[in-house]
Amino acid sequence: MKIERIEIREIQMPLVHFFETSFGRTTARRIVLVRVDADGLTGWGEVTAGEAPFYSHETPDTAWHILRDFLIPWTLGTDWAAPGDVAARFHPIRGHNMAKAALENALWDIAAQQQNLPLAKLVGGTLEEIPCGVSIGIQNSIPELLEKIEREVAAGYQRIKVKVKPGWDLNVLDAVRTRFPGILLMADANSAYSLADIAHLKEFDRFYLMMIEQPLGWDDLVDHAKLQREISTPICLDESIHSADDARKALQIGAGKIINIKLGRVGGFSAAKQVHDLCRARNVPVWCGGMLESGIGRAHNIAMSTMPGFTLPGDVSASKRYWAEDIIEPEITVSAQGTIRVPDLAGLGFTPRLDRIEKLTVRKETFA
């Protein structure tokens, strides 16, 4: 695949409802999209970085810089044999996985079209339908949270994840469990606690959660291993897993029992496959995390979620939960059973709406 042209653009999209985690509230997204043209075909990728460096160090501006000054010049003009080959080329750059993933994933989109395969098949997927959960942010009040859960359970979503932080945790989980004793429930702390909170975190056990996601440091493995020995709720790692090597080390020391894979966080499909394969070989369940993506990132997430080790419902949900109008056609919808049907068209399986993308664009740069 000979890369002829790469375009990066920033679009801005308001969320239909604010999304709040232990590190802050998001009301609108700034999303960098990557468009790659090669061999007469077009592929798309999305930078999943948050607006501020609170989930990880990356932001739309750091990704723009790394793409423009390094990744794009290193990719343009070369005839790549396979989309994953850029991962080795990008390897000297420390970190910046979300910038790398956006570009690599666009190449996977092109490769799938070239081979006339759905992206899901190209990445080794086997599922035709993926199980979906929702991630529900911190709300202004517990009644508002309960009402949201009610709506998502009624819509068919298979598991509910609630965000927690000190002061919005045991009281919230208690109310949720009293009202919904039978749902599959989990909590995501986004690093809001420390080992000093062990006694407090032990109290989560009484809510029989499927897992607690990233309770401790964003870059920690060792303390998570200590905590996992003290609590019965399985720990799921998110922020601290950036590669298959990280996953191997985490599992080796017992830092958790489940891993959330995000394409951006690990640097794209080739790294995601490695994390998946490592976990699968060890019978460790994985699921697909979300980063409030537009339809393009969401379509990539659907493809990844079809790999056989993705045995737990992921944070991949319908477009309308985030956007008044998405940037792909058709929009992503979820069945009454809480599943998304994987498209069987070649490539991404959803068509980017160029007119709408153009309207939302606040800056654009093209390289040829």
**Positions marked active-site:** 163, 262
Binding site partner of 290, from Mg ion, ligand OSB, none, Cβ cut-off 5-8 A by kind: ligand OSB
Q: By CB under 6 A, is residue 256 in contact with ligand OSB?
A: no
Q: Is 314 helix (H, G, I), strand (E, B) or coil?
A: strand
Q: Which is nearer to ligand OSB, 72 or 209 (CB)?
A: 209
Q: By CB under 5 A, is residue 169 in contact with Mg ion?
A: no
List residues bridging with 235 in a β-sheet. Answer: 212
Tell me, residue by residue from 267 to 296, as one string, x for binding to ligand OSB by CB under 6 A and - for no binding: ----------------------xxxx----
Contact indicator for 95, 57 with CB cutoff of 8 Å: yes
List 10, 37, 152, 238, residue binding ligand OSB (CB under 6 A): 238
Nearest to 111 by CA among 303, 366, 332, 334: 303
Q: By CB under 6 A, is residue 114 in contact with ligand OSB?
A: no
List 13, 43, 45, 55, residue binding ligand OSB (CB under 6 A): 55
Q: Sign of dihedral through CA atoms 187, 190, 193, 198?
A: positive
Q: Which is nearer to ligand OSB, 96 or 111 (CB)?
A: 96
List 10, 20, 109, 238, residue binding Mg ion (CB under 5 A): 238
Q: By CB under 5 A, is residue 104 in contact with Mg ion?
A: no
- Residue 290 Cβ, how far from ligand OSB at the closest point, in Å? 2
Q: What radius of gyration do the chain's Cα atoms show?
A: 20
- Residues with Cβ < 8 Å from 236, sequence gap 6 or more? 186, 211, 212, 213, 214, 256, 257, 258, 259, 260
Q: Which is nearer to Mg ion, 42 or 191 (CB)?
A: 191
Q: By CB under 5 A, is residue 220 in contact with Mg ion?
A: no
Binding site partner of 135, from Mg ion, ligand OSB, none, Cβ cut-off 5-8 A by kind: ligand OSB
Tell me, residue by residue from 173 to 202, as one string, x for binding to Mg ion by CB under 5 A and - for no binding: ---------------x--------------
List 51, 169, 188, 246, residue binding ligand OSB (CB under 6 A): 188
- Residues with Cβ < 8 Å from 50, sequence gap 6 or more? 26, 56, 58, 59, 291
Torsion of the alpha carbons at 174, 175, 181 and 187, rounded to the nearest 10: -60
- Residue 21 Cβ, how far from ligand OSB at the closest point, in Å? 6
List 135, 158, 274, 339, residue binding ligand OSB (CB under 6 A): 135
Contact indicator for 322, 16 with CB cutoff of 8 Å: yes
Q: By CB under 6 A, is residue 315 in contact with ligand OSB?
A: yes
Burial of 350 (0-12, 13-18, 19+ CB in 10 A): buried
Q: By CB under 6 A, is residue 139 in contact with ligand OSB?
A: no
**CA gap 23, 20 in Å, rounded:** 8
Q: By CB under 5 A, is residue 20 in contact with Mg ion?
A: no
Q: Which is nearer to ligand OSB, 52 or 354 (CB)?
A: 52
Binding site partner of 326, from Mg ion, ligand OSB, none, Cβ cut-off 5-8 A by kind: none
Contact indicator for 293, 48 with CB cutoff of 8 Å: yes
Helices (H), the chain: 60-66, 72-75, 85-90, 97-114, 119-122, 142-155, 170-179, 198-202, 222-230, 244-253, 263-266, 269-281, 295-304, 354-360
Binding site partner of 291, from ligand OSB, Mg ion, none, Cβ cut-off 5-8 A by kind: ligand OSB
Contact indicator for 60, 53 with CB cutoff of 8 Å: no
Q: Record the tokens describing residue 352, joined without a space.
A: 């980017």
Interacting residue ranges for ligand OSB, rule: CB under 6 A: 21, 50, 55, 135, 188, 190, 238, 289-292, 315
> What residues make contact with Mg ion under the rule CB under 5 A?
188, 213, 238
